[in-house]
Chain A
Amino acid sequence: MGLIDNLLLGFETALTWQNLGYAFLGCMIGTFIGLLPGLGPLSTVAMLLPVTYSLPPAGALILLASIYYGAQYGGSTTAILLKLPGESSSAVTMIDGYEMAKRGRAGVALAAAAIGSFIAGSFGVLLLATVAEPLTQVAFLFGPAEYFSLMVLGLVGSIALSSDDIDKSLGLMVLGLLLSLVGTDINSGEYRFTGGFADLTDGIELTALAMGVFGVAEIAVNLEQYNRDKQSNRVVAKITQLLPGKADFKRMMPSILRGTAIGSLLGALPGAGVTMASFAGYAVEKKMSRYKQELGHGAVEGVAGPESANNAAAQTNFISLLTLGIPGSAIMALLLGAMIIQNIQPGPQVISKHPDVFWGLIVSMWIGNLMLVVLNLPLIGLWVSMLKVPYRILFPVILVFCSVGAYTARASVFDIYLLGIFGIMGYVLIKLKVSPVPLLMGMVLGPMLESSFRRALMVSQGDLSIIYTRPLSLSLLVAAGVLIVVSALPSIVRKRERVFSEA
């Protein structure tokens, strides 16, 4: 089947009323939570994961995916109008976006962000559609040893580019791996680390962990800030002219293209993700733009570049999940969880066994990007009014959805207690200044990592060299090693700190 046939199949799936509805709903939710500082796509996807149990597979994935890229659109609105990062990926957009807003050019900044995101998103989806099938062919050459090494690469990649010390995030990832092993061992049927709790024999519920660490803990931290500031009225910049003029278009197009290129590339790398992409997008503008001296003083390039980059990355992020079954970021890890719930075994066989789900999801991502432009530009007034929902109303609502969501996953009160316990754990981690993301990555990949390790060594009859003598497996491990070494180099560490402190 050619790409055209595949895309036609995708349109067939994506254009059903139900799936259009899920994409629309996801884009609305995504934009909304993107707007709100302190509520991100990660906690939202975690909250809605249990709800998708009862949806058909394509619908569930379309809904969750659209929340993710929708949040990239919403985040820029808050950054431009309020100078608050609605999402961490729009933190650099604040710099020039808010300067533009102060000069009465908020509308142009919003339009640049939306148009840039749309172009970048469309390109990202197209790239995903073209490389997916060839990549799955490569994946069929994979044995258990290669899978093991690939997962190691994915895990290492997810921590190498974070701003934390490598040993701290590595430790958290190992803890995540260990927590994922709690429950029944598939090979022997023996219960591990259950401490006698019958509720733990099925393992720790992923959604309870994710919502505890990213929902409950973050609410507590945000609430401290909010109670300390004692300030609830936010000043929203006024929007006057929405459509950019010819001159603006001419200036933003090169930035959009540069942002798209760098974002697509970074999104496809395991571990890099959207935040890294927007920072890189801004850095590229600073180096390459003809107007680089204006950056920081309200240049449209400073909005178009990073916003295009983060949205391109949001699409190409799906590549390794959909073709290899390896999530490159924490959100992708949750989507992997959603696939498992839907009885879709993640990996290269998804494309051949569930072509409708696969191509439907890809096409719906493009349709979703189109919806988002429509939702974000003409309806901007609606979103601005939503920015005025006070936190004192919002946070109990988030807490309710976390608690109800924890129960819904398995109809188990035990999972509500787990939610609380992981809330405490997440709070301690945030206070000790470690990002909890590697914990989630470890939690999701743990069972697959263990079983591929066991199978590889069963094949080789206990000879460990199987992992580092097969060329494909070795090159993956070498790549992981290079990432660790590079990220531990002092000069890189300093640079990275500078990039993140510029936010």
Chain B
Amino acid sequence: MAQSIRIKHQPNFVLGGLYALAGAGFAVTSLNYDMGDLSYMGPGYFPFLLGILLAALGSLIMIRSLGFSQEVVRLSGWNLRSISWMVGSVMIFGLALEPLGLVIALVLLVVLASLASHEFTWRTTLTNALVMVVLNVGGFVYGLSIPFPVFPEILSTFLQ
């Protein structure tokens, strides 16, 4: 087999790349802020240093992940289903909270999240949702007086 430089460690290559991008992004953005000097640092100074450091570390990790062809560590085990359901239901909870209120948003969250399980049943899920609504409305809204919108906005204007 021909000896050629290739990516030996794919996870590290990706991670290093992400670090390098983030570091460069922060360093470049820092240039917009006042740098000041060492004796009186402006808001840009410290993040600029850190950004450069992060970009350097990222590049180092990327270089380390290259090498002559030996054993290759591949990116594996990505299963976007679970994470998409979880993050999706959190985002929908956020979108629903203010217009629709806590009660409906919680039911949406529990039902959507539970759909990601292979053992989904409506019965358990709705019971679970009901318990969550009671616990959270009781605990946070009445117990700790956190200003949650509880019911849909339309309903409350309609009631007034």
Give me the interface of A with B, judged by CB distance under 8 Å. 51, 54, 165, 167-168, 170-171, 174-175, 177-178, 181, 185, 187-188, 190, 192-193, 216-217, 219-221, 223-224, 226-227, 230, 232, 390-393, 395-397, 399-400, 402-404, 407-408, 411, 413, 416-417, 419-420, 423-424, 427-428, 431-434, 450, 453-454, 457-458, 460-464
Contact = CB atoms under 8 A, between A and B. Distances in A.
A432 B86 contact: no
5 contacts: A188-B34, A220-B82, A221-B82, A224-B77, A227-B116
A433 B13 CA distance: 12
Contact of A392 (B37, B87, B109, B124): B124
B132 interface: yes
B11 interface: yes
A192 B110 contact: no
Contacts of B64: 167
Interface in B18-37: 18-19, 22-23, 26, 29-30, 33-34, 37
A457 B53 CA distance: 20
Interface string B80-122: 0111011101110110011000000010011001101111100
A457 B40 CA distance: 7
A403 B50 contact: no
Interface string B28-70: 0110011001111111101100110110011011001000000
Q: B interface, by DSSP: helix, strand, loop or mixed?
A: helix
Contact of B19 (A171, A190, A450): A171
A395 B70 CA distance: 41
Contacts of A175: 19, 22-23, 54
Nearest to B98: A413
A175 B21 CA distance: 11
Contact of A413 (B39, B50, B97): B97
A95 to B, nearest CB: 26
B87 A216 contact: yes
A178 B26 contact: yes
A402 B30 CA distance: 32
A215 to B, nearest CB: 9
Contacts of A417: 91, 94
A404 B93 CA distance: 9
Contact of A403 (B53, B75, B77, B109): B109
Q: Counting chain A CB atoms within 10 Å of each CB, which of B33, B46, B128 scores highest?
A: B46
B155 interface: no
A460 B40 CA distance: 10
Given A185-B43, A411-B146, A458-B39, A167 B60 contact: yes
A223 B61 contact: no
Given A170-B57, A174-B53, A397 B132 contact: yes
A419 B50 contact: no
Given A227-B117, A416-B97, A178 B19 contact: no
Nearest to A418: B94
A-B pairs with the 9 shortest C-beta distances? A462-B39, A416-B94, A462-B38, A185-B43, A220-B83, A171-B57, A223-B82, A220-B82, A392-B117
A400 B77 contact: no
B90 A423 contact: yes
A489 to B, nearest CB: 16
Contacts of A453: 41, 46
A181 B46 contact: yes
A403 B87 CA distance: 10
A400 B106 contact: yes
Contacts of A177: 50
Nearest to B114: A396
B39 A424 contact: no
A416 B93 contact: yes
A192 B91 contact: no
Contacts of A54: 144-145
A464 B60 CA distance: 26
Contacts of B26: 178, 193
A170 B60 CA distance: 12
A174 B43 contact: no
